Amino acid sequence: MDDSLYDEFGNYLGPELPSSDDEELAEASGLQGVGDHGGQDDAMEAEDELEAEAREQSSFALMRMDDVPENQVVLHEDKKYYPTAEEVYGQEVETLVQDEDTQLLSEPIVETVKVKSFTLGEEGLPKTVYQKEYLASMARLPGLTRNIAVVGHLHHGKTSFIDTLVAETHDVPRTLEKHRRYTDIHKLERERGLSIKAMPISLILPNSKGKSYLLNLMDTPGHVNFTDEVSATIRIADGAVLVVDAMEGVMAHTEVIIRQLIREGVAITLVINKVDRLVIELKLPPNDAYFKLRHVIEEVNTVIRGCAPTGTDLRLSPERGNVCFAASQMDWCFSLRSFAKMYTDMYGGVSADDFGRRLWGDVYFNPSKRSFSRKPIDQGAKRSFVHFILEPLFKIYAHTVGEQPAKLKSFLQSVGIKLKASQLKMNVKDLLPLVMRSFVGPPTGFVDMCVEHIPSPDDNAARLTEHIYTGPMDSRAAEAMKRCDPNGPLMVYITKLYPSDDASTFDAFGRVMSGTLQSGQRVFVMGEAFSPDDQEDMAAQNVSNLWLYESRYRIPVESAVAGSWVLIGGVDSVIAKTATLTDVSPEQEEAYIFRPLSFTTTPVLKVAIEPVNPSELPKMLDGLRKINKSYPIVKTKVEESGEHVVLGTGELYLDCVLHDLRRMYSEIEIKVADPVVRFCETVVETSSLKCFAETPNKKNKITITAEPLEKGIAEDIENGAVKIDWANRDIGQFFERKYNWDLLASRSVWAFVVHAMYSPVSWGACFVGTLPSLAFSLTFYA
């Protein structure tokens, strides 16, 4: 080795040496020039071999693991463990490559389709004992229809009583909790165990003679905060079923409801519910239970007598047939006639009507003579209601709860009840309703009571039209409504708005007063502010759908005739609270609306709200508009300070409103301020001081004194017996005739001023007294 070519560190310093690639080229070129047999062809073959080898090596990296020879060495980065998306799903698959921080780990790569549903409903149309087409055809017969509001105090059993009727017509298990409270479909109703919304349901039920009737029932809330739902229901009902707890009796809210029913002119029937509490909880003997039931009925009649118009007989009594007895948790209900029919079917010899009239009051049965008398035969004589009804019921309860299955079977057979051996071994909670249902039978007595004591839409049309219609009674529309004419001009009264399943839109619920409403028909929707002089609150809409509303499901129909309740789709966009639908253009004929709802209470609780995120204010405003539609009495407004406030009747009411605002209608977080309660005062005696004010020129002076109104004037103003739009002469004659006022003073009424109190509503009236020269002297009555 030449040392001159390297330095002391061993680095090469000589000339540049040829590379290995150059040597291979030189060898190839040397081969090209050697030989006499086809040198050029050999070179081309060598080139092809090199290209093939290169292709082989490049495709080797894409070979699958099972295609790689066992002795082949494959680098880790060249291995392919999984197929690509294109190989699995095809060439049309979209492949998205993102950085690791582009999407949160909590978010799914592919968002699932969320179906919003805020109410409990049936998956399809449930099985019923009648066909849905038959139900729709019955709705076209007003004479066989009854529109009924089920009202009562909180937890007196209205919803569970309707469950008893639903179980008679629908194929639903009676023992499962999820099938109880069939008309409570709102999430809060299921959680809190009380009704919040008035929900309708239509059922076909037979009476004691086997004739079928369509009962349009409306389950109303019993809490005092939700009286607005009761008012919306009563306005379109022909009658009411008042449900009263047999143990609690008449409560404060029961009195309020009775007064409202009488003021609206609605027929009243009574169901004394939870009669079994007298047996199970109070453990009263049959005779004491009779006096307890009698006392409850007298309590109801006392309230009715206190507010009924003079000369009307609205007394409720079992012998009249307008009172039923029930235990909704045990699925039984009967009237005196239906219970008497069990005896007459078994023994005969007397009609059920005659026997039923002898089963209430101070009527005693003489076993030796088999006759009835008004006076007891001996000291220990029992009333017929105790002897024929309460004692058998109490014995069945006692034997079912306490006897062994073997003894119970023989006892039940003695009263005509036959059960299977497996049924006798059931839990008492399930066995007792089964036994009582077999003994009492279906609720035909309740149907008889509704048919006989609640008028049909035909019979009640004239009274209802005069009560709710604001137009002249001699107009073409009024005459058609009085006749409940299906061929007259269309008039529909909307009193409720129900949200859709996803709470995006609303459907209007109301009563067809005259004419026939068709699906797809174009109608004119007139709001509460509409009048012949100011037609701004009016719009033309197309009816998209019509349904019979069954709480948990809907039955689509093509038309709705006069006298029926119907759910209407496609007209909600221009309705705020209540509305009037007609097919007569206001330009062709003067149109009038139905009276807006009147409530027994006023909103007294106020809260201010704002969104947590200020950018979500439009969402909150849209939610407030929907809240205003959903709750009849709620008020939403903007204060002078810029705050958005919601007014309701109580704490529970506002809690439900804000829940719906957060979860259903806006889906945003909202900050709520402390509630503010509105307090109002009234006048209890004549003011000792006079208040006065002078005009700036010191030439006019107004003097005001205050004194309470006479008893009955506030009620007359509230009920519309006297109206401020009357002529002064008519107002004067009213106060002079009814309250013996001075004619000059009574003609000087200026205005009726309402003072919002929690209960009752207080009215005031401004009157002009003697007018001295250039001075006003006012007296304010309240």
3-state secondary structure labels for all residues of 461-518: HHHHHHHHECCCCCCHHHHHHHHCCCCCCCEEEEEEEEECCCCCCEEEEEEEEECEEE
DSSP H helical ranges for 663-755: 713-719, 728-739, 743-746
Buried b (16+ CB within 10 A) or exposed e, 326-353: bbbbbbbbbbbbbbbbbbbeeeeeeebe
* Of 710, 716, 647, 771, the residue nearest 225 (C-alpha): 647
CA 768 – CA 750 distance, rounded (Å)? 7
329 with 287: CB under 8 angstroms? no
DSSP code at position 329: G
Q: Is residue 107 part of a domain?
A: no
pLDDT for position 694: 85
Q: How far is CA 259 from CA 157, 218, 309, 316, 712, in A?
A: 20, 19, 11, 15, 14
Q: Residue 400 domain-assigned? A: yes
Considering the domain architecture, whether residues 232 and 303 belong to the same structural domain is answered as: yes
740 and 663 in a common domain: no
Residue 683 lies in a domain: no
Token pair in block for residue 52:
């093939």
Q: Which amino acid is at 781?
A: Y
H or E element: which one contains 676? Answer: strand 676-677
Residue 241 lies inside a defined structural domain of this protein? yes
Residue 124: how many CB atoms within 10 A of its CB?
7
Contact, 388 vs 337, CB < 8 A?
A: no
Cα–Cα distance, 331 to 165 (Å, whole number) = 9
Interaxial angle between packed helices 391-402 and 428-440, expressed in degrees from 0 to 180 and rounded to the nearest 10: 150
Residue 502 inside a domain? The answer is: yes
Name the residue with tokens 């057979």.
Answer: 413
Among residues 549, 582, 615, the one where a domain terminates is 582
Q: What pLDDT is attached to residue 176?
A: 66
C-alpha torsion sign, points 440, 442, 444, 447: positive
Nearest Cα neighbor of 715 from 254, 263, 266, 261 is 263
For residues 332 and 445, give the distance between their C-alpha atoms in angstroms, rounded to a whole number. 11
Question: What pLDDT, in 10s, does the model give residues 402-437?
Answer: 877 788 888 888 888 888 888 888 888 889 999 999
Backbone dihedral region for residue 534 (phi beyond 0: left; psi -120 to 50: alpha; all else: beta): beta
Do both 612 and 503 map to the same domain?
no
- pLDDT recorded at residue 140: 95
In sequence order, what are the residues at sequence separation of 6 or more whose Cβ sits closer than 8 angstroms to the Cβ of residue 314? Answer: 262, 268, 304, 308
How many angstroms separate the CA atoms of 134 and 131, rounded? 5
626 in Cβ contact with 577 (< 8 Å): no
Q: Is residue 459 part of a domain?
A: no
Cα–Cα distance between 308 and 328 in angstroms, integer?
Answer: 30
How far is Cα 740 from Cα 620, in angstroms, rounded to an integer? 54
User: Rounded distance, CA 752 to CA 756, Å?
Assistant: 13
Q: How far apart are CA 566 and CA 139, in angstroms?
A: 10
Side-chain-side CA neighbours of 622 within 13 Å: the count stands at 13
d(CA 238, CA 659): 33
Query: Based on the domain organization, do 440 and 552 belong to the same domain?
Result: no
Burial of 42 (0-12, 13-18, 19+ CB in 10 A): middle
**pLDDT value at residue 751:** 80
The structure tokens listed for 710 are 């006479």
d(CA 626, CA 612): 19
Two structure tokens written together for 575: 């309705």
Picking from 227, 150, 231, 152, the residue whose alpha carbon sits closest to that of residue 183 is 150
Does residue 545 lie within any of the structural domains?
yes
Phi and psi (nearest 5°) for 637?
Answer: -155, 170
CB 692 within 8 A of CB 704: yes
How far apart are alpha carbons 490 and 573 in whole angstroms? 20
Distance CA 481, CA 458 (A): 9
From the number of C-beta atoms within 10 Å of its C-beta (0-12, 13-18, 19+), residue 315 rates as middle
Q: 558: alpha, beta or left, given left = phi > 0 and alpha = psi -120 to 50?
A: alpha
Say yes or no: 49 and 191 in one domain.
Answer: no
The Cα diameter of the chain in Å comes to 155
Give the integer Cα–Cα distance in Å for 352 and 349: 10
444, 480: one domain? no
Which residue, of 527, 548, 582, is where some domain finishes? 582
Measured distance CA(595)–CA(577) in Å, rounded: 12
Its domain, for residue 647, covers 605-677
Q: At what angle do helices 336-347 and 444-453 cross, to 10 degrees?
A: 130
CB atoms within 10 A of CB 630: 21
Residues 241 and 358 in one domain: yes
Q: What's residue 56's pLDDT?
A: 56
**Is there a contact between 246 and 297 (Cβ–Cβ < 8 Å)?**
no
Q: Are residues 345 and 399 in the same domain?
A: yes
pLDDT the model gives residue 28: 47
Is 561:145 a contact under the CB 8 Å cutoff?
no
- Pick from 170, 221, 268: nearest CA to 650: 221
Of 141, 398, 422, 204, whose CA–CA distance to 286 is shortest? 398
Q: Which residues contact 146 (CB under 8 A, 6 or more apart)?
A: 213, 214, 215, 216, 238, 239, 450, 451, 454, 456
Query: Among 521, 520, 540, 522, which residue's Cα sits nearest to residue 530?
Result: 540
Residues 565 and 515 reside in one and the same domain: yes
Return the pLDDT at 367: 80
Q: What is the dihedral of CA 255, 258, 263, 267, to 10 degrees?
A: -170
Please state the domain count of the chain: 5
Whole-number Å distance between alpha carbons of 13 and 254: 117
Residue numbers in the chain where pLDDT is lower than 70: 1-4, 8-10, 17-72, 176-179, 680, 753-782
Tell me, yes or no, whether 56 and 148 share the same domain: no
The answer to whether residues 631 and 695 belong to one domain is no
Residue with tokens 């119970």: 408
Question: How many angstroms separate the CA atoms of 637 and 708, rounded?
Answer: 32
Query: Of 453, 479, 508, which residue constitutes the final position of a domain?
Result: 453
> In the chain, what is the straight-line distance between the N-terminal and C-terminal CA atoms, in Å?
131
In this predicted structure, what is the pLDDT of residue 621? Answer: 95
Cis ω for the linkage preceding 760 (within 30 of 0): yes
Same structural domain for residues 243 and 359?
yes
**Where does residue 97 rank: exposed (0-12), middle (13-18), buried (19+ CB within 10 A)?**
exposed
Establish if 179 belongs to a structural domain. yes
Q: How many CB atoms lie within 10 A of CB 383?
A: 22
Q: CA 445 to CA 206: how far, in whole Å? A: 10
Q: Give the pair of three-digit tokens for residue 594.
A: 């139905």
User: In the numeric block, which tokens belong to residue 288?
Assistant: 């004491």
Task: Sort strands 267-273 and 239-245 into parallel, antiparallel or unpaired.
Answer: parallel
**CB within 8 A of 654, min separation 6: which ones?**
605, 607, 646, 648, 675
CA distance 412 to 706: 72
- How many Å apart are CA 382 and CA 375, to the nearest integer? 10
Alpha carbons 224 and 257: distance in angstroms, whole number: 10
Q: What CATH number does the domain containing 179 carry?
A: 3.40.50.300
